[in-house]
Amino acid sequence: MLPPHLAPIAERLREITVEVGGHDGAGAGIMWAPDLVVTNAHVARAESLRVRLADDRRLEAHVVAADRRADLAVLRVPRTRVILAAVADSDELRVGALVVALGHPLGQRGMLTAGIVHALGPLAAGGRRWIHADVRLAPGNSGGPLADTAGHVVGLNTMIAGGLALAIPINEVRRFVSSVLARSP
Amino acid sequence: MSTVMDLSNALTGAVASAARSVLAVHGRPRLPSTGVHWRPGLVVTASHTVDANREITLTTPDGREVPAQLTGRDPGLDVAVLRADLGALPVAELAPDAELRIGHLVLALGAGPRASAGIVSALDTRGGRAETMAVDLTLYPGFSGGPLIDVLGRVVGITTSGPARHLQYAIRAEAVTRLADHVVQRGRIPRAYLGVGTQAVGLPETLRERLGLTQRTAVIIVNVRPESPAAAAGLIIGDIVVSIEGEAIAEPEDLVSALTPERVGQAVTVRLVRGGEPRELSVTVGERPPRA
């Protein structure tokens, strides 16, 4: 019997995760549609950005929408043949679930880290809901996927607080993308 | 891949099941700690997170605030036992202690619930008994006193980042149960008492060689309370205590660890150095009088 391992999930996530670069450093992003990348607003600070796919293809991207408060951004890239992110229902996520993060921490491309969901909810009473994950992240993970054991994206890794990864629940990301596309088809 | 998914489902199930007996403990300023409903009406937590001079309240998993009373503690093991009226709140399911092995996958829980995962990395002994274990996982702020659970959601211990050798360790469930039983049977946990004040002191190389000691330090007695068990046994200021019942005493914390509740009323052999010469004294451990 083969021991259970995360390789199939890692492979899948590597293909849907892009590198987003501007003039200052890089973050990660998720292939949402053949011509759309989703990332954090703090990653997409420049008007035009470079997106590097897992297979090393480089694309020019421009920011369709960036919401600094939500820390979410949608980028348009030339329509391209890629595997797209499969997205889970983040409301179904439970504390203790195994999760993996893929990103480019400190410039190291395509790094996978694993852990569990630590907590679900705001940092302080009345605040925004986060997925708190006991997963190691570093600068360069921002905008990259947090995924479940099916390889489905449950959150967008956004920041680190108290040693914990904080990810925006993917349902919130989905609503954001829908509202952006409704305004600018 | 389904096996990884099975494991993930097992972990979420374990958290959900164990979290039904996990409470927030408000027993110190600011940061609440975590407690476990151990026996009906008895909650255990980490002793260092409960201030005896404060009103203690608990928050149940369904958000109720319940007052609690401190009924006993073992500072050496860092366990406190609280009494509270918790109604039908389920008590924790305990894992058989004998099954615990190094390498077991475990989760630490805080009230909320919050969770972190890791493994049992070492099994330790105290006073010749297997009472604690080191764990390789992150104990986040407020986790102290919370349960360490296995993948079936059964409690194997309670975690603390308090006065310990390891940064992360847990007190094994059996040791916690023993303390809770003191409270059930006698209404308190007896606190061992010698009546000495001590400081750590270095042992000269020559003395260590002569006495065949591996420890580099011991504790020197700087104060002996009159009419205390120590005074009755003839301990005097300047005595250097090297071991109690064969357990090395390298620092004052070791004295606290050696003075277990079970030793109250028992005669223990204290090995010491007086005037450069080794000696052994028999000391009958007393019980610390309750706070006035």
| Three state DSSP letters for B162-175 | CCCCCCCEEEEHHH
Whether A162 sits inside 8 A of B115 (CB atoms) is no
Would you state the pLDDT for residue A95? 97
Question: How many other C-beta atoms can be found within 10 angstroms of the C-beta atom of residue B264?
Answer: 18
Chain A: closest CA distance from residue B265 (Å)? 45
pLDDT bucket at B1, cuts 50 / 70 / 90: very low
Cα Rg for chain A, rounded, in angstroms?
A: 15
Instruction: From A121, A129, A114, select the one nearest A95 (Cα to Cα).
Output: A121
Chain A: closest CA distance from residue B2 (Å)? 8
Whether B12 sits inside 8 A of A95 (CB atoms) is yes
Q: Mutate which of A134, A136, A164 to test chain B, going by most B C-beta atoms within 10 A? A: A134
Q: Is the pLDDT of residue B163 over 60?
A: no
pLDDT bucket at B217, cuts 50 / 70 / 90: very high
Contacts of B252 (CB under 8 A, 6+ apart): B198, B199, B200, B219
The answer to whether position B292 is within a domain reads no
**CATH topology of A8-84 equal to that of A90-174?**
yes
Of the listed A71, A90, A148, A152, which one is catalytic?
A71
Q: Identify whether residues B196 and B280 lie together within a single domain.
A: yes
pLDDT digits (tens, 9 = 90+) for B92-148: 999 998 889 999 999 999 999 999 999 998 887 655 567 889 899 999 999 999 999
Percent of chain B having pLDDT more than 70? 95
The answer to whether position B19 is within a domain reads yes
Chain B: closest CA distance from residue A41 (Å)? 28
Q: Quickly name the fold that domain A90-174 has.
A: Thrombin, subunit H (2.40.10)
Instruction: Confirm if B145 and B165 have CB atoms less than 8 A apart.
Output: no
Q: Identify whether residues B123 and B176 lie together within a single domain.
A: yes
Residues of B with Cβ-Cβ distance to A118 under 8 angstroms: 114-116, 140
Would you state the pLDDT for residue B165? 54
Q: Mutate which of B114, B139, B161, B168 to test chain A, going by most A C-beta atoms within 10 A? A: B114
Instruction: Confirm if B88 and B62 have CB atoms less than 8 A apart.
Output: no
Q: Structural domain tally of chain B?
A: 2
d(CA A115, CA A97): 8
pLDDT bucket at B184, cuts 50 / 70 / 90: confident
Instruction: Confirm if A14 and A102 have CB atoms less than 8 A apart.
Output: yes
Domain limits for position B275? 192-287
Whether A119 sits inside 8 A of B138 (CB atoms) is no
Beta bridge pairs of residue B202: B217
Instruction: From A179, A173, A181, select the one nearest A40 (Cα to Cα).
Output: A173
Using alpha carbons, list the distances in angstroms from residue B147 to A40, A45, A161, B94: 36, 44, 23, 10
Q: Identify whether residues B167 and B27 lie together within a single domain.
A: yes
Counted across chains A and B, CB pairs separated by less than 8 A come out at 73
Phi/psi class of residue A121: alpha, beta or left (left: φ > 0; alpha: ψ in -120 to 50)? left
The answer to whether position B246 is within a domain reads yes
Q: Identify whether residues B112 and B23 lie together within a single domain.
A: yes
* Residue of A47 and B47 predicted with greater confidence: B47
pLDDT, chain B, mean:
91
Q: Identify whether residues B181 and B205 lie together within a single domain.
A: no
Q: Which residues of B touch A (CB under 8 A)?
A: 1, 3-8, 11-16, 19, 107, 112-117, 138, 140-141
Of the listed A90, A104, A118, A142, which one is catalytic?
A142
Domain boundaries defined on chain A: 8-84, 90-174
Lowest mean pLDDT among A19-33, A82-96, B5-19, B230-244: A19-33
Q: Which of B189, B221, B236 is the last residue of a domain?
A: B189
Q: Which helix (H) or strand (E) holds A9?
A: helix A7-16
Q: Is the pLDDT of residue B182 over 70?
A: yes
Nearest-CB residue to A98 (from B4, B114, B141): B4
Q: Identify whether residues B164 and B31 lie together within a single domain.
A: yes
Q: What is the ipTM of this complex?
A: 0.84
Q: Identify whether residues B174 and B105 lie together within a single domain.
A: yes
Q: Which of B189, B216, B248 is the last residue of a domain?
A: B189
Whether B4 sits inside 8 A of A6 (CB atoms) is yes
Q: Identify whether residues B45 and B79 lie together within a single domain.
A: yes
Q: Mutate which of B8, B9, B143 to test chain A, going by most A C-beta atoms within 10 A? A: B8
Q: Is the pLDDT of residue B261 over 60?
A: yes
Mean pLDDT of B214-237: 95
The answer to whether position B263 is within a domain reads yes
pLDDT digits (tens, 9 = 90+) for B71-96: 999 888 899 999 999 999 999 999 99
Q: Identify whether residues B33 and B71 lie together within a single domain.
A: yes
The answer to whether position B98 is within a domain reads yes
Domain of B109, CATH number, reads 2.40.10.120
Q: Identify whether residues B171 and B55 lie together within a single domain.
A: yes
Q: Which of B126, B158, B189 is the last residue of a domain?
A: B189
Q: Is the pLDDT of residue B228 over 50?
A: yes
Catalytic residue status for A42 = yes
Mean pLDDT of B246-255: 90
Per-residue pLDDT of chain A (185 residues; tens, 9 = 90+): 455 678 888 888 999 999 998 656 689 999 999 999 999 999 998 888 999 999 999 999 999 999 999 999 999 999 999 899 999 999 999 999 999 999 998 888 889 999 999 999 998 888 999 999 999 998 899 999 999 999 999 999 999 998 899 999 999 999 999 999 998 76
Structure tokens at A138: 């570093």
Domain with residues A8-84, CATH architecture? Beta Barrel (2.40)
Q: Identify whether residues B184 and B196 lie together within a single domain.
A: no
Residues of B with Cβ-Cβ distance to A164 under 8 angstroms: 140
